[in-house]
């Protein structure tokens, strides 16, 4: 959204207008102007957008109504769209990294016993669990090993640790509330739900999917 559009959102029209009709016209003109500005930006950034679906989503979100899509699906779609935009403007090495990631995820999806969660995370159950589950903003106690696609361990713990789900990567925040205590899962997390185009220092390169083996020992809401 442009700086001009943000300024429009912050404007306060003078109250000393001649009539109530004029005030109503000003309010409508403001809404129309915001829509025109947003429409111009979207026409440039997202050609062939389904306008009716855009209006529906805008109305439901603006009025605080229940949304037609789950939050996880919205986040995944927006992340994928952002990844596409990034790829279009990315230098050659980033394009190569994205292609490498896509091939890795495709190969992993074909492994026996793999399930794909709605946000694109690939799950393999290594051990079932039957205990409680964490709330979406709860806490988890885990043992884990994190690997890069080539098998290199970049992080692990040898003693169980508690983590607030609000403080971990998106992939953990999405998958772990679905995991019962006692379970051990293998998760393949796309880069869009991990460290994305930025990576993490010298340890995790940009556009790197991550592989975790996680054992859930405790959960709290």
Residue 191 has pLDDT above 90, yes or no: yes
Confidence of residue 1 (pLDDT cuts 50, 70, 90): very low
- Is 176 or 23 the better-scoring residue by pLDDT? 176
Name the one residue in this structure whose structure tokens are 């790829």: 87
Q: Average pLDDT, stretch 9-32?
A: 58
Distance CA 147, CA 157 (A): 12
Distance CA 169, CA 164 (A): 11
Residue 3 has pLDDT above 70, yes or no: no
- What are phi and psi for residue 212, nearest 5 degrees? -120, 140
> Quick count: other Cβ atoms within 10 Å of Cβ 15?
6
pLDDT at residue number 193: 94
Confidence of residue 89 (pLDDT cuts 50, 70, 90): low
- Is 124 or 8 the better-scoring residue by pLDDT? 124
C-alpha separations of 134 from 131, 194, 197 in Å: 10, 20, 29
- Listed in sequence order, the residues at least 6 apart from 67 whose beta carbon sits closer than 8 Å to its beta carbon are 57, 60, 61, 74
Residue 5 has pLDDT above 60, yes or no: no
pLDDT at residue number 12: 33
Query: Range with the lowest mean pLDDT among 30-34, 39-43, 85-89, 143-147?
Result: 85-89
Q: Which of 137, 131, 127, 121 is nearest to 175 (CA)?
A: 121
Q: Average pLDDT, stretch 57-75?
A: 88
> Is residue 124 within 8 Å of 115, Cβ to Cβ?
yes
Mean of all residue pLDDT scores within the chain? 85
Residue 99 token pair = 């292609």
Residue 184 has pLDDT above 70, yes or no: yes
pLDDT at residue number 72: 80
Q: Which of 143, 109, 164 is nearest to 214 (CA)?
A: 143
pLDDT at residue number 19: 42
Out of 43-52, 78-87, 154-163, the most confident range is 154-163
Task: Kindly report, residue by residue over 141-172, the tens digit of the pLDDT.
Answer: 999 999 999 999 999 998 999 999 999 999 99
């Amino acid at each position: 959204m442009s700086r001009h559009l943000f300024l429009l959102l912050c404007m306060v029209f003078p109250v000393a207008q001649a009539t109530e009709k004029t005030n109503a016209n000003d309010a409508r003109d403001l809404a129309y102007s915001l829509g025109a500005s947003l429409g111009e930006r979207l026409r440039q950034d997202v050609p062939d957008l389904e306008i009716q679906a855009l209006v529906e989503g805008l109305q439901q979100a603006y009025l605080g109504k229940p949304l037609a899509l789950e939050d996880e699906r919205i986040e995944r779609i927006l992340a994928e769209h952002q990844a596409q935009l990034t790829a279009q403007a990315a230098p050659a090495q980033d394009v190569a990294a994205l292609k490498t990631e896509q091939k890795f995820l495709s190969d992993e999806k074909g492994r026996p016993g793999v399930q794909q969660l709605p946000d694109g995370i690939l799950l393999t159950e290594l051990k079932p669990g039957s205990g409680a589950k964490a709330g979406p903003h709860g806490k988890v106690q885990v043992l884990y090993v994190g690997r890069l696609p080539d098998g290199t361990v970049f992080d692990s713990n040898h003693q169980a640790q508690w983590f607030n789900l609000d403080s971990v990567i998106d992939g953990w925040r999405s998958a772990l509330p679905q995991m019962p205590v006692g379970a051990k899962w293998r998760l393949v997390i796309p880069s869009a739900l991990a460290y994305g185009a930025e990576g993490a220092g010298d340890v995790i390169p940009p556009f790197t999917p991550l592989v975790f083996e996680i054992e859930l020992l405790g959960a709290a809401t």
